[in-house]
Amino acid sequence: MTTLYDAIVVGGGVNGCGVARDLAMRGLEVLLVEKGDFSMGTSWASSGMIHGGLRYLMSDVHTTYKSCKDAGYIRSIAPHLTFRIPFLMPVLDDEGLKGRVNLEGADALFELYDRFQPYKGGKAHIRFSPEEVARIEPLIAKNLVGAVITDEWGIDVPRLCVLNALDAKRHGASLASWTRVTELIREGGSIAGIRTLDELTGEAGESRARLVVNCGGPWAPELARMAGARIRLRPAKGVHLILDRRISNNGIIAQALDGRQVFVIPHENVSMIGTTDDDFFGDPDDIPILEDEVKYLLEAMERVIPGIRNARVIKAIAGIRPTLFERAKYEDDLTRDHRVYDHEVLDGVRGFVSLAGGKLAAYRVMAEETADLVCRKLGCKNSCATHLQPLPGGEEIPDVEELATRYGQDPYAVSRLIFRQGARAVQVLDMMKEKPETGVYVCSCDPVTEAELRFAIRNEAVRRPIDLISRCRIGEGPCQGHGCLTRAAEIFGEERRLSSSEIRREALWMMREKWRWRKEILGGAQLVQEELTRMVHRSLLEREEGR
Amino acid sequence: MSERHIIVIGGGLSGVMAALSSKSAGCRVTLIRGGLGRTALGNGLVRLAGIVRVTGSSRYLPLMKSVKEMLRGNPEHPFLRLEIAESEAYAARDLFVKIVNDGYFVENADADLLPSWFANEIGNLEAAHFAPLSTARFHRESRESVGVVGFSGYRRFHAEYLAESWTRHAEKLRLPVTFAPVSISFDKDGKPFRKPAETARALEKENELSRLTEMLRKALENVEVNRLVFPPVLGMDGSLAKELEKRLNLPVGEAAGARESLAGLRLIWLLEAFLIAEGVEIVSGTAREPEMDSGAIRSVETASGKEENRRLEADAFVLATGKFLGGGIRSVEGRFVEPLFSLPVFSEGRRIEDDFIGKLTRNDFSAPQAFERVGLRADLYGRPVAEGGGVCYPNLFAAGQVIGGFDPNREGAEGVDLISGYLAGKRAGETDHA
Amino acid sequence: MRKFIALALLGLFLLRHFFLRIIKRLLPGNRGGENGREKQFLENYREDGIRALEAAEARMLRDMQGCIRCGLCDTLCKNAARLESAAFEGPSLLVSTHSRNLPETRHVRRYLLELEPCGDCFDCMNVCPTGVPIRELVTFMERFARNDLEILGGKREPSASNPEMR
């Protein structure tokens, strides 16, 4: 006898996790199904910003207002996971009078934006002379007319997804990662559940629900097709280059060859250069990164940061934006709006709802709208509270120095731990106190301790070692897992009593996944790193070949 | 007539081989070395060639047959391009044996050179032709049950996992060896050891070593083993293996290291001692700004932070700067360059310059990758050549990883170091090349 | 309609902006006030750990990118061998962890202050396969820990060598 859920949410990106949390908080029985790990699709490849919608000031002021307000909400429910990114818009000298006009225009625009900043705790903008810019951002080009600075919030997106999923679980939802939906169960004109395949055990399963919510992102049209419904997207590929370190204090905006705006932003302990925006009609499971895209981004940034080509790129990530379909528009001009599809009205398919389009910064509002529709259909009267209750660990942010002193740990490691775990950092530190040997760094790039890994494995819906990348940012530093992935697999194996060959298989799987995202950008120090990594792991590769 | 002067650039395995073979040809030799490289970062195991299995069997080919197998279908392999005579290969091996006589072990020195197996920290048994004496080795004839010693305070070495993984691998290889964990709660006053060197230094203190010995004696009371494998931290120089062997009355060896292995450094120290003993002049610093005269290289400048820059002249030069790790080949802003002499860089026999790296990589991480074969192309004397096949400089010879055309991890990196190093040194020492 | 409102509002702010700027220009006293903007910036983002860097410092930090985490410097560092502090694994931690994320580096000062001066020992740099100028970073970080705390909003440690703030 299978349980009858109120709703099954398919897709564990930020939207799916957000919808699952919202529904669970309203007291519904929810199952969240994801074919990989949470956040492994579009969410993982996003710029990781909860912006206030500056660009909508030119088209729809109300959207800016709503975005800023919601950015404030997200910040208040996950204060530990957000960080401020000052954003610097330099105006280059090479355009003569036009440059000066642009600078004044930007100044006025940001002045208007200042009115909305208080909703999300942002600061008023500042306008700088070229000399001042040189002092606060020394690597920037010298030929400026001036620059304007405002700020936005950055966020650790994989962790945000995970926390939403974990909070859904705390409110009674069931989580099923590494579970692929193979078929939708249709009964009459209605969707009654899903058939699934567990990617790890190979077991087939069946779950029934009164309603299925499609949050598949780029995979949403495929799922809709299975339901006999239709969603039309105009998917666009976005590529980011990840640098080994924060190369600047500020996010810096530059203009690309085609006039689009691209940027470099400091994000946690790396910088990201992004992003491209091109139609993509291929397989969202296999997104190639092209020479053109890498060159496009570097060319654009070089104008404002002349030394950028010498920077070390540690990986390139690509994701597919599930933008809504529009014809006769350039990719960049496509609306970032979202849409909740009631397929009962649209296609006559009952028990099936889809969410598509949108942007990361609006995930909570989108989830709320979707949950509202689901609740209307299911007759649930409870209203949304996702903006009021903190995500796990967001209850309060402990003081770094105080905790470090109390537990005798490195304050830097404690500050990174608090960034991820918030109030729950204390539980990890307790483990380190009880067993000092778990205080050893497994990944020293971030750093991540053995205790944090064990805590995640026990408490954070981890099904395989690769999940630890989104839980703890393991292997995301310059060495790309050179030293930590095999060790992480061993720790996982110890916790879950895996055999040595299962541990090896998982370790190799992680190395392969990481390789996919750096094979197009190897160069400079990263190529040196690769020679070392392959030399150290050569026997792992050999045994794999069946010797 | 004055002595012929050779400058060797690079202090890794190939550079040292070149320096010593020039020296034994009667030349004056100066070796310029900067930071450490691949040799120092390795685990001390030396493979003369890829380890090739007999088709359809678990047995492995003897060395010369392995080499033949490896070279089939890879005309760019330096072993082929250098047209090595069998006698030269053996001479290179003999020179290496002479260098590492004290610290290294070679099995079947006169016969086929069948590889032995070494248990590494990644969890595999790895074959090699030479290994440090302190590293535990296994072979087909040794029926053994081995205790894998794990310290609770040294988390890099996971004895339970390794014992199981090695046992399975041994089964697969039909080696009659089994491994069982021997875990003891050994740490640093309740704190873990974080690094191999930290652990090795601690064990060098007599009180720590006797504490460890006591714990092990107790732990071994209930276990039947006839050999022990330790994490590769038995002293900075590995000499504690012998000491423990005496105290425990059991054969003792280290596992082969993986990341941050001390074994590579020990090999470097061994090579350095030999260079000094043989009277090779060592200059610390990086070589730069070569000067040419009528198509040949006359001198290079050495730069170090400490001493004043010097310009050194020589009759011939050996370039043994390694691949990416050694800095011999660099990728700068997407362009492959040889930074010192601006020599052309090849991949699979084809000149490359600003090729997109994505064209030199394959999606499958485990598959052989073209970028690993990037390097210089040499003529039969080991001299780097240009695209058309013409020699770049008549008195410049390349040695080791800086030469491309082979896969270092599958086709015997150290073998190329030894043999091409030996040949480069020897040929640089000769006066005339047709 | 929405677009119209947005553009109208924007137009309004543009007009207001130019008007204010003209007035500012006319008042001579206000022109010198612009020096405060840099201070304002540092004030605004002090809690986020953001500080101004000199060009040479920024370049030096970027040179740290060569680190491949091989660990040779840690193995040979005498300071790391001597220091019992649990936090200090060795110079590589400074290079490949702390130098990457300057805002959080305010939390590193505890063991930086425990470090003994490196003196003439350049072992870490001499063995580095990629030639990372590790010593420069150590010097920078020490100075950073001792002198620049106030800018970061941390509690200031007493420093005998250089009591002056930058």
Place of tokens 């490359």: B352
- Binned at pLDDT 50, 70 and 90, residue B60 comes out as confident
Closest CA to B358 of A521, A525, A242: A521
Cβ atoms within 10 A of the Cβ of A192, count?
17
pLDDT digits (tens, 9 = 90+) for C107-134: 876 667 677 778 888 888 989 999 999 9
**Partners of A213 in the beta sheet?**
A9, A353
CB contact C55 to A (< 8 Å): yes
Hey, how many other C-beta atoms are within 10 angstroms of the C-beta on B88? 15
Residue A383 burial by CB count (10 A; 0-12/13-18/19+): exposed, middle or buried?
Answer: exposed
Provide the pLDDT confidence category of residue A390 given band limits of 50, 70 and 90.
Answer: very high
Contact residues on chain C for A483, CB-CB shorter than 8 A: 69
The pLDDT of A20-38, averaged and rounded, is 97
Task: Tell me what percent of the residues of chain B surpass a pLDDT of 70.
Answer: 96
Q: Which of A144-158, A218-232, C96-110 has the lowest mean pLDDT?
A: C96-110
User: Identity (one letter) of the amino acid at A329?
Assistant: K
- Structure tokens, A328: 């006769």
Q: Is the Cα dihedral A379, A383, A386, A389 positive or negative?
A: negative
Q: What three-state secondary structure class fits C83?
A: coil
Contact B409, A538 (CB under 8 A): yes
Q: Is the pLDDT of residue C155 over 60?
A: no
Give SS3 for B64.
helix
Would you call C122 and B196 a contact, using CB atoms and an 8 Å cutoff?
no
* C166 touching A (Cβ < 8 Å): no
pLDDT for res A544: 64
Q: Do B201 and C89 touch (CB under 8 A)?
A: no
Which of B195, B201, B306 is the closest to C89 by Cβ?
Answer: B195
* DSSP single-letter state for residue B157: -
Mean pLDDT, chain C, rounded, equals 77
| Residues 13-72, chain B, touching A (beta carbon < 8 A) | 38, 41-42, 51, 53
- Angle between the A14-25 and A157-170 helix axes, to the nearest 10 degrees? 20
The amino acid sitting at C10 is L
CB A32 within 8 A of CB A22: no
Q: Tell me the pLDDT band of C163, cut-offs 50, 70 and 90.
A: very low
| B3 token code pair | 């002595």
pLDDT in tens, C84-95: 655 678 889 889
Contact check, Cβ <8 Å, B165/A504: yes
Q: Min CA distance, C162 vs chain A (Å)?
A: 23
Q: Using CB atoms, which chains have 3+ pairs under 8 A with B?
A: A, C
| pLDDT for residue A340 | 96
d(CA B259, CA B105): 22
* Overall average pLDDT of the A331-346 stretch: 90
d(CA A15, CA A349): 22
pLDDT digits (tens, 9 = 90+) for B182-210: 999 999 888 899 889 999 999 999 999 99
What does the pLDDT average to over A510-536?
A: 94
Chain A residues touching C41 at Cβ < 8 A = 86, 126, 128, 136, 149
- Measure the CA–CA gap between B330 and B354, rounded to whole angstroms: 12
- pLDDT value of position A335: 82
Residues 179-218 of B with CB under 8 A from A: 187, 190-192, 194
Q: Which residues pair with residue B249 across a beta bridge?
A: none
CA dist A436 and A298 (Å) reads 45
Helix (H, G, I), strand (E, B) or coil at A459: helix
pLDDT in the model for residue A438: 93
Distances (CA, A) of A520 to A476, B334, C26, C115, C164: 17, 11, 56, 40, 48
* B288 interface with A at CB cutoff 8 Å: no
Interface contact B198, partner C, CB < 8 A: yes
Mutate to test the interface with A, among C67, C109, C137, C166 (most CBs of A within 10 A): C67
Query: Length of chain B in residues, anyone?
Result: 434
pLDDT, mean over chain A: 93
Asked if B217 reaches chain C (Cβ–Cβ under 8 Å), the answer is no
Q: Label residue B370 left, alpha or beta by phi (over 0 means left) and psi (-120 to 50 means alpha).
A: alpha
Neighboring chain A residues of C99 at a CB cutoff of 8 Å: 245
Separation between Cα atoms, residue B16 and residue B9, nearest integer Å: 10
Structure tokens at A292: 């053109």
Q: What is the DSSP string of A128-180?
A: E-HHHHHHHSTTS-S-EEEEEEEEEEEE-HHHHHHHHHHHHHHTT-EEE-SEE
Residue A331 confidence (pLDDT) = 85
Share of chain A above pLDDT 70, in %: 99
Inter-chain contact C48–A83, Cβ cutoff 8 Å? yes
Q: Which of B41, B358, B409 sits opposite A519 (nearest CB)?
A: B358
pLDDT at C149: 53
Which of B169, B323, B363 is opposite residue A516, by nearest beta carbon? B363
Could you tell me which residue, A431 or A327, shows the higher pLDDT?
A: A431
The SS3 of residue A262 is strand
At A426, give phi and psi (nearest 5°): -60, -40
Which other chains touch chain C, taking contact as 3+ CB pairs less than 8 Å apart?
A, B
- Exposure of B364 in the CB half-sphere (CA atoms within 13 A): 6
- Phi, psi of A206, rounded to the nearest 5 degrees: -145, 135
Which residues lie below 8 Å from residue A358, measured CB to CB, with a gap of 6+? A15, A336, A337, A338, A366
What kind and span of H or E run contains A50?
A: strand A49-50
Residue in B41, B124, B358 closest to A543 by CB? B124
pLDDT exceeds cutoff 80 at B83: yes
Does residue A252 surpass a pLDDT of 50? yes
Q: What backbone torsions phi and psi does residue B177 show, to the nearest 5 degrees?
A: -125, 135
pLDDT band at C156 (very low <50, low <70, confident <90, very high): very low
What is the model's pLDDT at position C87?
62
Give the least confident one: A201-205, B167-171, C77-81. C77-81
* pLDDT, tens digit, 9 for 90 and up, residues B375-434: 999 999 999 999 998 999 999 999 999 999 999 998 888 999 999 999 999 999 987 664
Closest-CA residue of C relative to B324 is C130
Report helix, strand or coil for A275: coil
Determine the Cα–Cα distance for residues A418 and A436; give it in Å rounded to an integer: 19
Q: What's the pLDDT tens digit per position in A289-338?
A: 999 999 999 999 999 999 899 999 999 999 999 999 988 888 888 888 89
Query: Using the beta-carbon criterion (under 8 Å), do A410 and C86 form an inter-chain contact?
Result: yes
Three-state SS at A225: helix
User: How many CB atoms sit inside 10 A of residue B174's CB?
Assistant: 10
pLDDT tens digits, A89-106 = 999 887 678 888 888 888
Which pLDDT score, from 0 to 100, does residue B67 have? Answer: 83
Looking up tokens 């790396």 gives: A270
- Tell me phi and psi for residue A423, to 5 degrees: -65, -20
B235, B200 Cβ separation under 8 angstroms: yes
Give yes or no for C83 touching B (CB within 8 A).
no
pLDDT computed for residue B108 by the predictor: 61
Cβ atoms B266, B237 nearer than 8 A = yes
How confident is residue B113, by pLDDT bands cut at 50, 70 and 90?
Answer: low
Do residue C68 and residue A479 have CB atoms under 8 angstroms apart?
yes
Give the model's pLDDT for residue A238.
95
Whether the bond into A275 is cis, omega within 30 of 0: yes
Helix (H/G/I), strand (E/B), else coil: A9: strand
Please tell me which of the candidates A437, A487, A503 has its beta carbon nearest to residue B192: A437
Chain segment B341-391, per-residue pLDDT in tens:
999 999 988 999 888 999 999 999 999 999 999 999 999 999 999 999 899
C110 backbone dihedrals φ, ψ, rounded to 5°: -55, -55
Q: Which chain A residues are within 8 Å of C86, Cβ to Cβ?
A: 408-410, 439
Q: Is the pTM of this model over 0.90?
A: yes
Q: Quick one: pLDDT band at residue B166, thresholds 50, 70, 90?
A: very high
Whether residue C101 and residue A268 make contact (CB cut-off 8 A), yes or no, is yes
C148 or A416: whose pLDDT is higher? A416
Residues from chain C contacting residue A109 (CB–CB below 8 Å): 10, 13
Token pair for B384: 């780097």
B409 touches chain A (CB under 8 A): yes
How close B233 gets to chain A, by Cα (Å)? 17
Q: Which ipTM score applies to this complex?
A: 0.96
